[in-house]
Amino acid sequence: MLGREVRLAAPPDRIVSLVPSATELIFALGAEERLVGVTDFCDHPPAARRKPSVGGMVSPSLEAIVTLRPDVVIATDQGNREETFVQLGRVGIPVYLVHAGSVAMMMDVIGRLGALTGRPGSVAPLVERLRARIAAIAGAVSGRRRPRVLYVLWPEPLLVPGRSAIVTELIALAGGDSITAGEAGDYPRYSIEAAVARAPEVIVLARHGGTTGPIARDRWDRLANLPAVRAGRVHSVDGSVLHRYGPRIVDGLEQLARVIHPEAFR
């Protein structure tokens, strides 16, 4: 997806995934038997946790990967280090990079993984199901006034979705206008002052799994003059289904749509 050519001697039977999104998609395509290794962050579906782990995304164990004898390693430039790709290349393990900053690119990833895992016939049904749900959610909020939305990926430092993040597109599909949509990059740093100046009408705080505890709302509740705070429209959503471009992304889209336009859903 980054213009690199990857040559394999044969269709890969042994795949290590360093990308939680790719892991979820490989399971959704029915090719999980080819997965021989995943990262500690590949926690969905539950069966993924039973696969051998090679460690974290940033610094996976090269020794653990080599021991699993993969035909190919699936990685990404959105969370893995280039040093990892170089090290794998030195020991002769091909690396296939995926990248998705939009829904269309996510569909492209599905097609590529379907071909790579020998499951091309599973691509169209999965893509059609996802597109149908996305269309239904977007249709439910269509024509409604679009409130200004601040999405908080991380509180300290304040990280928000920029123009290259898939979350920015999801906010638009959910019937909102992200106040940070014009910022460069995927998830840039942002200032509280800039957020206050843009007067968000809805504030969305992302949770990051069950180990991080409840989201601190204090700093936002203290900003009593913000339209979102005055209206009681500070909400939390499950970041794991919004930041991963896997099949659950439509669940995340529905969460967003329900907090942005609760009146559109029963």
Per-residue pLDDT of 108-134, as tens digits, reads 999 999 999 999 999 999 999 999 999
Q: What integer pLDDT is reported at residue 212 of this predicted model?
A: 52
- CATH code for residues 144-264: 3.40.50.1980
Annotated domain spans of the chain? 15-118, 144-264
Q: What integer pLDDT is reported at residue 90 of this predicted model?
A: 93
Q: What integer pLDDT is reported at residue 131 of this predicted model?
A: 97
Q: What integer pLDDT is reported at residue 230 of this predicted model?
A: 94
Q: What integer pLDDT is reported at residue 208 of this predicted model?
A: 77
Which CATH number is 15-118's, of 3.40.630.30, 3.40.50.300, 3.60.15.10, 3.40.50.1980? 3.40.50.1980
| 194-230 pLDDT per residue, tens | 999 999 999 999 987 654 555 678 888 889 899 999 9
Q: What integer pLDDT is reported at residue 209 of this predicted model?
A: 61
| 236-245 pLDDT per residue, tens | 999 889 989 9
Which stretches of the chain drop beneath a pLDDT of 50? 211
Two domains, one topology: 15-118 and 144-264: yes
Task: Print burial letters for 31-64: b (CB count within 10 Å at least 16), e (below 16).
Answer: bbebbbbbbebbbbeeebeebebbbebeebebee
Q: What integer pLDDT is reported at residue 266 of this predicted model?
A: 77
Closest CA to 169 of 154, 186, 145: 186
